[in-house]
Chain A
Amino acid sequence: MEKITEQKWQLSKDWFKAIKLPWEFFLILITALVFTLCSFASPYFLDVWNLSDATFNFVEKAIVALPLAMLIICRDIDLSIASIIALSSVAMGFAAQYGLGLELIVIIGISVGVLCGLFNGWVVTHFDIPAIVVTIGTMSLFRGISYILLGDQVLKDYPDGFEYFGQGYIYWVFSFEFALFLLAAVFFYALLHKTNFGRRCYAIGNNPTAAFYSGINVKRHRLLLFVIVGALAGVAAVLLTSRLGSTRPTIALGWELSIITMVVLGGVNIMGGAGSIPGVFIAVFLMGIVTFGLGLLNVPGIVMSIIIGGMLISVIATPVLIKKFSHRGS
């Protein structure tokens, strides 16, 4: 009798070990499943141009999700990303209005992002205030400045050629935005998984005190990550502004939550210490495909939000439940 129970436990343990595949595998499986479902559900889904068009709606967010994943792994968070995009877009709008050239406008856009990130990072590390508190504040601050500068006005005097960033194609159906996202994904993969800088992220995320005593300049590292997130928010601002061809202070309103959703869906532990760039990379496509597929079926946005919310909770709950049951098993 005892033996049978033991054997059963042994079995269940093996089963959990067997499905203890990397998170990325689990995500790829779901993504492939959703992709297949969508191609059966809508005759318009499997069309290269349609798929290419669909990428425009998520790559800007995805570009910010990559560095944000690293920041969250480090136990920090930045809720002001969407507001940084707005402020950076407003700055570019004014630069364009003063007749500055293409390169300068882009440089200004990214610089504003860097400065916002620097401000976030400085306040967080210098005054030792939790990142969530600081960036909730700067979320309103940066957005507020955009409103004050612009009010109900619109800036749309962008020079010829500016539309390329958000609307142009480098080859056939591959848009500039999409190519840039792939490039960024490779860069952040290398940065997080192949360098000392990346390993320090995990060290800080798992135990900041231990990381500090092992000689890592924790504050500088965190500050740098805030700056990187800001810079990429600036890049996203260039792309989005170019895609819309105009700037209003409401630009990218509410994006912080969809970007954080991508990161969390990608398997990044919101408490820090764990996560990977490939996970986020796949999650971005999962979100994009789900949104596009449901859009093609004219599913109302409210239902779409419910489905994405449900997906997020199930995906997050699955490993937690597996862990819980496998723990009970041993």
Chain B
Amino acid sequence: MTFKKVLATTAVALAMMSSTVSADEIKIGLVVKALGIGFFEAANEGAQEAAKELGNVKVIYTGPTSTTAEGQIEVISALIAQKVDAIAVSANDTDALVPILKKAQQRGIKVISWDSGVSAMGRQMHLNPSSNQLIGEMNIKLAADALKAANIAGGDVAILSATPTSTNQNIWIEEMKKVLPNYSNLNLVATVYGDDLADKSYRETLALLKTYPDLKAIIAPTTVGILAAAQAVKDQGKIGKVFVTGLGLPSELAGHVDSGAVHSFAIWNPIDLGYAATMIAYNLVKGNGSDSKIGMGRLGDAQLDENGEAAMSEPFIYNASNVHKFADIF
């Protein structure tokens, strides 16, 4: 009988959660790779800022519990059912989301991808946070900078990525490999995958530290990975010997910058990214913009290339001088 009470209570709670819908309100579904990741929480903050600025826009922030395509499909079909006006997705899989996103477009929903893209058939445009080339170059440059600052001539470096199927991770790793020949003192020995899970990334880092005694730098172009790697380096007493760098969140890494496990790292502003994605989705719904240009509010216009892709801005370096200032923001 208590079970029914629980059900009744849940129902009341649910009824309260479903807010009233005004007729001309524009609903934008912001779909992320998985909930509970700092980067996406910050993007949501930017999306809410855009919604506030535009007025009469409701951003539905949602995503699966684990970074799977099947989970995102479930979430997207719930958004289609709610008849949202636009969906802006950071995809877990380039291809697997295409059928459901095609269905969304058939039902008159504008679809864009941001951060991690889907194939051109599944969306109207894709917003890259930066250009892949710049990100690849930045990651390698940061590793070289860290060694230089510590007066280390050179040595082995390794990459700690998210899942082997993550679209953006693979492109960045490719770009990193392209610029590596310019840094003769860096020797890439391994690429490992932590699946964007803290514990797995931590274990993979421990394995790297054991396998490669000459390891000098770990590049983790993922916010989950870089944090786990920095923690592992700290726990193993390798501070000053192995430097962790890559893409991370200031609030999560400020402590590791202080301890010295991380010399510097980079990230674009996820708040701006969520803001820009929401602005673009809104402009698509309203029919503003053209095939080559679409507005991103306070961030200016996004220039679309022939594949319907645009870059927001270049990544920004965070180090001891500025990390605490940004740690309060995201």
List A residues at the B interface (Cβ < 8 Å): 30, 33-34, 37, 40-44, 47, 50, 53-54, 56-57, 147, 151-152, 154, 156, 163, 166-167, 240, 243-246, 248-255, 291-302, 304-305, 307, 310, 314-315, 318
Q: Distance (Å) between the CB of A246 and the closest chain B CB?
A: 4
Do A299 and B82 have beta carbons less than 8 Å apart? no
Do B81 and A301 have beta carbons less than 8 Å apart? no
The CA of A40 and the CA of B12, in the complex, are separated in Å by 10
Task: Identify A250's interface contact among B73, B74, B82, B165, CB under 8 A.
Answer: B165
Do B14 and A318 have beta carbons less than 8 Å apart? no
Stretch from B57-65, B146-154, B242-250 forming part of the interface with A: B57-65
Do A299 and B80 have beta carbons less than 8 Å apart? no
Task: Identify A295's interface contact among B17, B75, B163, CB under 8 A.
Answer: B75
The CA of A255 and the CA of B66, in the complex, are separated in Å by 12
Chain A residues near B64 (CB-CB < 8 A): 301
Do A57 and B14 have beta carbons less than 8 Å apart? no
User: Mind listing 11 A-B residue pairs with CB under 8 Å?
Assistant: A33-B7, A44-B83, A151-B164, A244-B99, A248-B96, A248-B165, A294-B14, A295-B74, A297-B17, A300-B35, A305-B65
The CA of A44 and the CA of B71, in the complex, are separated in Å by 20
Do A37 and B11 have beta carbons less than 8 Å apart? yes
The CA of A85 and the CA of B98, in the complex, are separated in Å by 20
Q: Distance (Å) between the CB of B23 and the closest chain A CB?
A: 12
Q: Distance (Å) between the CB of A30 and the closest chain B CB?
A: 8
Within 8 A of A (CB), among B65-101: 65-66, 68-71, 73-75, 77-78, 80-83, 93-96, 98-99
The CA of A307 and the CA of B6, in the complex, are separated in Å by 10
Given known A42-B18, A297-B18, A310-B6, contact A245–B62 (CB-CB < 8 A)? no
Do A152 and B165 have beta carbons less than 8 Å apart? yes
Do A244 and B81 have beta carbons less than 8 Å apart? no
Q: Distance (Å) between the CB of A127 and the closest chain B CB?
A: 31
Do A254 and B96 have beta carbons less than 8 Å apart? no
Given known A47-B81, A296-B81, contact A245–B14 (CB-CB < 8 A)? no
Within 8 A of A (CB), among B266-322: none
Given known A154-B94, A244-B69, A297-B18, contact A314–B35 (CB-CB < 8 A)? no
Do B170 and A152 have beta carbons less than 8 Å apart? yes
Do A301 and B65 have beta carbons less than 8 Å apart? yes
Do A53 and B99 have beta carbons less than 8 Å apart? no
Chain A residues near B63 (CB-CB < 8 A): 301
Chain B residues near A294 (CB-CB < 8 A): 14
Given known A152-B170, A245-B99, A298-B60, contact A44–B81 (CB-CB < 8 A)? yes
Do A291 and B74 have beta carbons less than 8 Å apart? yes
Do B95 and A307 have beta carbons less than 8 Å apart? no
Interface centre among A41, A54, A294 (most CB of B within 10 A): A41
